[in-house]
Amino acid sequence: MAIKEKIKNLPDAPGVYIMKSAKGSILYVGKATSLKKRVASYFNSKLLGKNRMLIEKVKDIDYLRCESPQQALILEAALIKEKKPKYNISLKDSKSYPYIEITKEKYPRVFISRPKNKKNSYYFGPYTDTGSLKKALKLIRKIFPFCSCHSKKKKKSLCLYYYLGLCPGPCAQKITAVSYNENIKAIKKILKGKRPELISVYKKKMEKLSSLERFERASKIRDKIYAIENIYKGKPRLHELLVLKRSLGLTRLPLLIEAIDISALGKNDATGSVVVFRDATADKSSYRRFLIKDVESIDDYKRIQEVVLRRYSRLRREKKQLPDLILIDGGKGQVTAGEEVLNGLGLNISLIGLAKRNEEVWLPDKNKPKVFNKDNPGLQLLQRIRDEAHRFAHAYHLIRRKKRYKK
């Protein structure tokens, strides 16, 4: 898909955009309050210097939608640290951008600064948007309270942040150094983009507390896990998509995935479903269900072909966005059947099948399936999408059966 066409399909929503070269290497990662407007601005204006050099090399754009600009800010910083894009690195040498500073003390303090000497504290950044950075730090503080006082002197009176639940009160010895520094370690992991590691630690804690029947403390840990997932929303989804792309050898990031399933009991009331996942998240408003009309025999291959034909001939006719990847619930036979229809329509869309028995992944041009490790994030994403397609098709099948029984 051409760059201009991709920009048209970008959502008018917060997120992170990833600019790539012709070879697929990441050139630049940026955040936006509106992905559509921000990315379009690069191509609609006269750019100079570094920006012009960047845009001349950009041949592809991926994006990841976020729930808020603050989440986009955290995700942007984590991706820059992880991927080290060429055109983001130059920010590191600039002293005009803000950082998050964590002091090296018994009870570390956390605040935003523009440091001249970076030896006395830990620094995370730089960040390009001070306003969003302040809001992002507030989100983190609600999960992991910290001290932000600029004075190093011990105080006996508690500040307002303590009564708001945003500071655990180390200055008045309301928390031990060990417990306080657990919060600081968690904050560092979030800022470094190590969300999976942090979630893993807290899940083990929750399980241990549950086994000891300390359910109240376990529930508090569970709430922290949910809060971390929410503030860092986007990163795990992107990881799943990147792993899936690499595992399947796809030429593009499968940001739009559609899955097809057939539900039937004998010849009657056969139904099909198409579920849609955007950015590895279910887009239920785009789901479609099909009553099988043209196939009277018990032939799942032909039923799949009917759904594929009806779905993608319509998308082509109405010039709507086509998926980056189609997932069919089934093995070699189902995949071959679907591929025949796509070829007949002249559509070049990546198509795979996921067989339930051994969770094997089938590709149209392969005689043997791909077998992934069970902990492969890409496989887990496919399983989640396949299960949702099965649920949706089966639900419609039950509706049709009930209608027939009533008649």
> For 385-395, how does the pLDDT look when each residue is reduced to its tens digit (9 = 90+)?
999 998 888 88
Residue range(s) defining the domain that contains residue 311: 243-406
The domain that contains 84 carries what CATH number? 3.40.1440.10
CATH classification at residue 328: 3.30.420.340
| Complete edge-to-edge strand list for the sheet that includes strand 15-20 | 26-32, 15-20, 60-65
User: Sign (positive/negative) of CA torsion 333, 326, 303, 357?
Assistant: positive
Q: Residue 63: pLDDT band by 50, 70, 90 thresholds?
A: confident
Residues 82 and 140 in one domain: no
pLDDT at residue 284 greater than cutoff 90: no
* Best CA proximity match to 144, nearest among 125, 166, 128, 126: 166
Q: What is the CA radius of gyration of the chain?
A: 25
Residue 152 Cα distances to 11, 101, 111, 187, 198, angstroms: 46, 15, 13, 21, 29
Q: pLDDT digits over 78-108, tens only?
A: 788 777 888 876 555 445 678 899 999 999 9
Cα gap 325→344, rounded to integer Å: 17
pLDDT at residue 198 greater than cutoff 80 = yes
Whether 253 and 388 map to the same domain: the answer is yes
Residues 6 or more apart in contact with residue 37 via CB below 8 angstroms: 12
Mean confidence (pLDDT) of the chain: 84
Higher local confidence (pLDDT), 52 or 328: 328
Q: What average pLDDT does range 3-17 have in this prediction?
A: 87
Longest dimension (CA), the chain: 82
- What is the average pLDDT across 152-156? 58
387 or 216: which carries more pLDDT confidence?
A: 387
Check pLDDT > 70 for residue 401.
no
The structure's pTM equals 0.54
pLDDT exceeds 70 at position 154: no
User: To the nearest whole percent, how much of the chain has pLDDT over 70?
Assistant: 89
134 within domain boundaries: yes
238 part of a folded domain? no
Q: What is the count of structural domains for the chain?
A: 4
Residues 272, 355 within the same domain: yes
Lowest mean pLDDT among 154-158, 261-265, 384-388: 154-158
- Are residues 196 and 236 in contact, defined by beta-carbon separation less than 8 angstroms? yes
Residues 137 and 272 in one domain: no
